[in-house]
Structure 1
């Protein structure tokens, strides 16, 4: 037996908090009866409806995908471009990406059908560390690297403190490879940060998501996360969220 709001969140309909609001508003029915209390628990045979629509329950699944460049972080695309779920054609569960990676950025992205887990991973206070490696035009001076670490003022506010390290420099071509560790997930954030210090990104890859890396995966490969990995990710986000 599980709490009703947790089941609704797992189904990907709403976050757990939003699910609680829907229950209190009388928009949830269990076995044909409207439920307005938060303590209700349901079993696998109970029929749940949210705003008149039946809830299809699936076992929660969790995947890591090595997203190639030129792939959309979505379940569909109106322009017919390749999307991340195209790599999971044999999976019956209705999975979707957690957060996003830009079309022209490669690397780790997680997918799930567990709405509660997805919301936890994306919560601003969860502070899951992401590690990016960027090939940039130019060679950033030490002070510019310090700027990345202190925070860059972008049009949507100052970025949180980060960690940056120059991995290599090609003086002949005038390019650098820089590692950047951040906890936020703003739209095109890494690219905008490098642009702000005058070293635009030529190529970008997300190499780590918390403790998860791309070891053993080729571009386009995916694997299911272990129960232990899911437990560790959940514990990390909840701990930092406080």
Structure 2
């Protein structure tokens, strides 16, 4: 037996918080009867309807994808461009990305059909650390690196402190390779942070998401997360949330 809002979230209909709103507003039926109590628990054989539509319960699945550049972090694109779900032709379940990676950014992205899991990882309070490697124009001086570490003022507010490491530089080509670790997930955040210190990003790759890496995968490759990794991610999100309170 599981809580009704959790079952709805696992089915990918909505986040758990939104599922609670649907229940409270009388949009959910169990075995033909409207249920408005959040503590309601349901079994695997009970019929659930959300806004008149039968709920299709699927076993949750969790994937890690090495997203190539030039791919949209979505399930569809009105311009006909390649999307992350195109790399899972064998999967018949309705999966979607957890968060996003920019069209021109490569690297690690998670996909699932577990709405509750996705919501926890994407919630601002629980942001898990993400590590990127950027190739940028120019060679930043130490003061510029310190600005990134302390937080950069962007149009949507100041960024949280970041971990930054200059990996290498090429004086002849005037480029640098820099590793940066952030907890937030704003739109094009890493690119905008580097632009703010005068060093535009030429190439960007997300190499780590929490403890997960791209080890063993080629561009466009994917693998399923183990049950232990899923538990670890949930625990990590909870830990980060407590740290940031």
TM-score by length of 1: 0.99
Q: Distance in 2 between matches of 1:29 and 1:118?
A: 24
Q: Distance in 2 between matches of 1:24 and 1:102?
A: 36
Q: Aligned-pair RMSD on alpha carbons?
A: 0.7
Count residues with an aligned counterpart. 242
Shift of 1:133: 0.2
Alignment-derived partner of residue 62 in structure 1: 62
Is contact 2:47–2:54 with CA below 8 Å preserved after alignment? Answer: yes
Alignment-derived partner of residue 189 in structure 1: 189
Shift of 1:18: 1.5
Shift of 1:146: 0.2
Alignment-derived partner of residue 33 in structure 1: 33
Alignment-derived partner of residue 6 in structure 1: 6
Shift of 1:239: 2.2
Alignment-derived partner of residue 207 in structure 2: 207
Secondary structure of residue in 2 paired with 1:13: coil
Task: Indicate whether 1:93 and 2:97 are aligned.
Answer: no
Alignment-derived partner of residue 224 in structure 1: 224
Runs of 4+ displaced beyond 3 Å: none
Secondary structure of residue in 2 paired with 1:176: strand
Secondary structure of residue in 2 paired with 1:60: coil
Is contact 2:127–2:185 with CA below 8 Å preserved after alignment? Answer: no
Q: Distance in 2 between matches of 1:217 and 1:54?
A: 38
Shift of 1:151: 0.4
Alignment-derived partner of residue 179 in structure 1: 179
Alignment-derived partner of residue 83 in structure 1: 83
Shift of 1:67: 0.2
Shift of 1:3: 0.9
Unaligned stretches of 5+ in structure 2?
none
Alignment-derived partner of residue 167 in structure 1: 167
Alignment-derived partner of residue 143 in structure 2: 143
TM-score by length of 2: 0.97
